[in-house]
Amino acid sequence: MTNPAWPYPRWIAHRGAGKLAPENTLAALRLGASHGYRMFECDVKLSQDGVPFLMHDADLRRTTDGTGIGGDHPWHMLSQRDAGSWHSRRYAGEGLPSLENIARFCLHNGHLLNIEIKPTPGTERHTGEVVARHAARLWAQSPIPPLMTSFDVAALEGAQAIAPALPRGLLLDKPRADWLDLASRLDCVAIVCHYSLWDTGTVAAAHGAGLRCLSYTVNDEWIAQRLLDLGTDGIITDRVDLFSPA
């Protein structure tokens, strides 16, 4: 049976507010919050000098006015990048936030966070260690810690080694035969996978192992209803304007 004390809401806003605002920015979290969401998923990686910051891609070009690999730049340079103009004029000048910025916003407003550890290639375990160390410090006084997730096993191993008390979730984008054994070895509390991987058998297997079942990225009503009917526990969506989290 699953843990009845699961503290997280069913609905989680993807990268802050999905695609309605520039992803992984403070502006996106604010917009998601304005739609009633109180939990946000975000991607966190490390600057060259070890500062955890929010960005999905390894390369800066898609979501900032910079070039090159984000993890190759020190934080004082990354903090000057424009991470909003690519989206729309409304968000011109929006900056890349550090994890500390986001933690301050969430803790002050009672919001919850799903931190996806998104390492720059070659820094997997180290990124998991550093992000977990910062998360443990930032949320030390909070009754509900962030949910730490990753596709990368080494990143989760790093997080587990440094901050074992932080809850972890294994991200999956395709089936793998050892998923339950791997989740057990990493002492995970949840499986977070592409919504198409959930069916009655996989949900029953996860719940039977004491794991919660979360899905990404759900933007259609029929898919959301199917997941609700299956008894899954969390839905990550871009469509904060379509789905009411209440």
- So which residues are the catalytic ones? 14, 56
6-9-11-12 Cα dihedral, nearest 10 degrees:
-90
Phi, psi of 98 (to 5 degrees): -80, 160
**How far apart, in Å, are the Cα atoms of 195 and each of 74, 100, 160?**
36, 30, 26
Q: DSSP label at 37?
A: -
Rounded to whole angstroms, the Cα distance separating 29 from 38 reads: 9
Beta-bridge partner residues of 190: 169, 212
